Amino acid sequence: MINKLVVKIQKTNAPIVVGLDPMLNYIPAHIQKKAFQEYGETLEGAAEAVWQFNKEIVDKTYDIIPAVKPQIAMYEQFGIPGMTAFKKTVDYCREKDLVVIGDIKRGDIGSTSAAYAVGHLGKVKVGDKTYAGFDEDFATLNPYMGADSIQPFIEVCREENKGIFVLVKTSNPSSGDFQDQLVSGRPLYELVGEKVAEWGETHMGDTYSYVGAVVGATYPEMGKILRKIMPKAYILVPGYGAQGGQGKDLVHFFNKDGLGAIVNSSRGIIASYKQEKYAKFGPENFGDSARQAALDMIEDISSALER
């Protein structure tokens, strides 16, 4: 799957991922209204609005992007109907041949980690049969519990040719509370980065590892160092756009082959119709607005990489 991701990035010439994080207030009124007419102002109604919104975004962008990243919290908040919308979204994106990165940030140990791994990337056994619960291509993971929390995922990834992105340095203001603490004079996130590189050696694709890392666009200097520590790890970069990151900040997240990083934007694309810059599209054409915002993001990053 890491090989597929690389090929798709090369084909589209777009090292970006569209974050499908559909907060209700991103979803235009006409979509919400229609969903509520059919299902009422219920969890089912909210889930239907989320699904219709996602479908339109995907239909209008799937040919120009390599990957999507649904943020499961935005679905989980709507209980079972929300989780069903998550699964429908994952399935639909895979039908459209998009690489699906489940932004689930799970982290647990032993048999519990294995249960998350089979549920999201692998197949669970029921009697003599096997089933894929959610079936994303990649999952994001939290490393706080150590190797015990990552290894069961790597085992499932080997069987399924799937991959993970481990949180190393996150994009939020308080990411430094623990990640930046100095251990023998070096920040903790560097140690985590070293572990990611080490784990990555055990499950390599053609040129990059199935074990990637998350490093926020908001910390470009740290990205530069982490790039060197984890030369074969694909870096998933959140924090572009709405959180403050720009194309020019991102060049050091990439390797000299022009690969090695994939930059996420959520709000900046899926809710772009709310920005003055894209207001001309109007809420009715939020999908076209998303396409234009994605094209602009690709251009911003490409031209920064060319310089």
Q: Which residue numbers are catalytic?
A: 105
Joined tokens for residue 154: 């790597």
State the residue for tokens 């989980």: 76
Dump strand ranges (E) for 127-188.
Answer: 129-131, 138-141, 163-169, 182-183, 186-187
Rounded to the nearest whole angstrom, what is the least distance from the CB of residue 34 to its own copies in the complex? 13
In 10 A of CB 283, how many CB atoms? 14
Rounded to the nearest whole angstrom, what is the least distance from the CB of residue 184 to its own copies in the complex? 7
Rounded to the nearest whole angstrom, what is the least distance from the CB of residue 235 to its own copies in the complex? 17
Q: Which is nearer to its own copies, 124 or 304 (CB)?
A: 124
Q: Is 123 exposed, middle or buried (0-12, 13-18, 19+ CB in 10 A)?
A: middle
The answer to whether 155 touches 117, Cβ cutoff 8 Å, is: yes
What is the number of residues in the chain? 307
Q: Which is nearer to its own copies, 124 or 259 (CB)?
A: 124
Q: Which is nearer to its own copies, 171 or 209 (CB)?
A: 171
Rounded to the nearest whole angstrom, what is the least distance from the CB of residue 93 to its own copies in the complex? 17
Instruction: Determine the 3-state secondary structure of 233 from DSSP.
Output: coil
Cα–Cα distance for residue pair 181/165, rounded to 1 Å: 22
Q: Which is nearer to its own copies, 125 or 307 (CB)?
A: 125
Q: Which is nearer to its own copies, 116 or 286 (CB)?
A: 116
Among 162, 165, 170, which residue's Cα sits nearest to residue 134? Answer: 162
Q: Is 183 exposed, middle or buried (0-12, 13-18, 19+ CB in 10 A)?
A: exposed
Rounded to the nearest whole angstrom, what is the least distance from the CB of residue 277 to its own copies in the complex? 22
DSSP type of residue 252: G
Termini Cα distance of the chain? 30
Rounded to the nearest whole angstrom, what is the least distance from the CB of residue 70 to its own copies in the complex? 12
Cα–Cα distance for residue pair 251/265, rounded to 1 Å: 16
Q: Which is nearer to its own copies, 173 or 257 (CB)?
A: 173
Q: What is the four-CA torsion angle of 287, 64, 19, 29, rounded to 10 degrees?
A: 0
